[in-house]
Chains A and B, each alone.
Chain A
């Protein structure tokens, strides 16, 4: 059985930062990534980040992934990276099972940081299983990583930040966006993104939803309808859109299977995107050895995922006795950064959610 101080599941923004923080304090780290490369969803984020310098503000996501990966490669005495390695199970005795390539491997880490991220939510409408209906993240991957357009004309469902950003990226890739619709009466995303889209001539239609997709083998069109104050369809307001892609951007839910299996206490918190683990201020779950970071703690942005990753890495290393002189100050710094990232109206929402799963007040 393979032993290591800290195993980290997930090589996205949270996992990369956790590995860096833990190894910088002297802990040995094994970083597991199910994909063939590190970076998680950073690799398709071609927009510049917000936040402060510590969260790589004004650097494009794809570049942040490279910076973090290079940093870890410089610490190869302590950090081992496995790509094509999928964590399969996390057992009560603390054993983590992994499919590494075609090989089955058992690991016994002293601590484990789960940073598995999130998966895209879906929406109910007629023919919602037709090819040509893609998650917003899928469209980003296809365009920004593979350089392939999803189609000719897109209906974007969801006017949150992801829906707005992906719409803009569609325009950049030369794809027409027929409309962005959102069931809510107001635009969920930042106004700066919405304005950019509207200036480009794309209508953002609030209080509307998609009721049907058309097409035999793939999407050939969509029906949208207006919603009343109670979010019920208004008869007679149906419009048909000639599109070959329907892009679903209605949020994410945390990927927490490993935590369920490990016996971590979970709670359903709508503000955080679904079932999330109960945790303390150092991101330790109700299972002593298991820490968490990133979207699986609650859906936020990559900036907060990075800070949470650092915090979990510091805390996990510290619990094993790896303490640099600046440890306390570093932990405080993470908490301050999270506080600042969670200020404002969006932050209020997150904070309300966090209050429901925090062990220490």
Chain B
């Protein structure tokens, strides 16, 4: 379990339970999570694959700078999931290409 339950300085008040899907599988996170933190807590490290080499991609900076965590969210590609808040019912998918313009 990767959620921090006890901490000497910080308290993490878990928000409401949020249900979303990752590649069709139902997962749960909490209100206050980013999509990336919810996935990570659920054990998902691979967020996509490079469009040429096919190598796995995860997040790197977690502050919206590096673009390593692009995923398809509710059908929209190239979403930096490290800075997008998790919402109920979100459909999150692994992105393995450059993403088509809508």
Shortest distance from the beta carbon of A217 to any chain B beta carbon, whole Å: 5
The reply to whether B46 and A131 contact each other, CB–CB distance below 8 Å, is yes
Q: Does B27 contact A (CB under 8 A)?
A: no
A174-B4, A217-B45 given; A142·B58 CB < 8 A = no
Q: Does B16 contact A (CB under 8 A)?
A: no
Contacts of A135 in B (CB 8 A): 60-62, 66
The reply to whether B7 and A119 contact each other, CB–CB distance below 8 Å, is no
A131-B46, A218-B46 given; A148·B62 CB < 8 A = no
Contacts of A129 in B (CB 8 A): 50, 55, 57
Q: State the CA gap A133–B56 with chains docked (Å).
A: 12
Within 8 A of A (CB), among B1-30: 2-4, 6-10, 12, 14
Residue of A46, A129, A139, A174 contacting most chain B CB atoms (<10 Å): A129
The reply to whether A142 and B10 contact each other, CB–CB distance below 8 Å, is no
A129-B57, A142-B40 given; A147·B4 CB < 8 A = yes
The reply to whether B65 and A119 contact each other, CB–CB distance below 8 Å, is yes
The reply to whether A131 and B57 contact each other, CB–CB distance below 8 Å, is yes
Contacts of A134 in B (CB 8 A): 58-60, 62
A146-B37, A147-B12 given; A218·B62 CB < 8 A = no
User: How many A residues have CB within 8 A of the partner chain?
Assistant: 36
Residue of A36, A137, A146, A174 contacting most chain B CB atoms (<10 Å): A146
Q: State the CA gap A209–B50 with chains docked (Å).
A: 27
The reply to whether A218 and B45 contact each other, CB–CB distance below 8 Å, is yes
Q: State the CA gap A148–B14 with chains docked (Å).
A: 11
Q: Does B83 contact A (CB under 8 A)?
A: yes
Contacts of B9 in A (CB 8 A): 46, 60, 172
Shortest distance from the beta carbon of A137 to any chain B beta carbon, whole Å: 6
Q: State the CA gap A146–B13 with chains docked (Å).
A: 10
Contacts of B82 in A (CB 8 A): 138, 141
Q: What mask results when residues 113 to 149 of chain A are scored 1 for a CB within 8 Å of chain B, else 0?
A: 0000001101000000111111101110111111111
Q: State the CA gap A205–B9 with chains docked (Å).
A: 28
Contact of A137 among B8, B32, B55, B62 (CB under 8 A): B62
Shortest distance from the beta carbon of B40 to any chain A beta carbon, whole Å: 6
The reply to whether A46 and B63 contact each other, CB–CB distance below 8 Å, is no
Q: Does A41 contact B (CB under 8 A)?
A: yes
Contacts of A272 in B (CB 8 A): none
The reply to whether B58 and A218 contact each other, CB–CB distance below 8 Å, is yes
The reply to whether A119 and B61 contact each other, CB–CB distance below 8 Å, is yes
Q: Which residues of B line the A interface, CB within 8 A?
A: 2-4, 6-10, 12, 14, 32-34, 37, 40-41, 45-47, 50, 55-66, 82-83, 85
Shortest 4 CB-CB contacts between residues of A and residues of B: A131-B58, A147-B12, A138-B62, A146-B37
Given A35-B83, A147-B14, A217-B46, list of 6 further CB < 8 A pairs?
A: A119-B66, A129-B57, A137-B63, A139-B62, A148-B37, A218-B56
Jot down 30 A-B pairs with beta carbons below 8 A, ordered by A: A35-B63, A35-B64, A41-B63, A46-B10, A129-B57, A130-B58, A131-B57, A132-B58, A133-B60, A134-B60, A134-B62, A135-B60, A135-B66, A138-B60, A138-B61, A138-B63, A138-B82, A139-B62, A144-B10, A146-B32, A146-B41, A147-B7, A147-B14, A148-B3, A148-B40, A149-B2, A150-B2, A174-B4, A217-B46, A218-B46
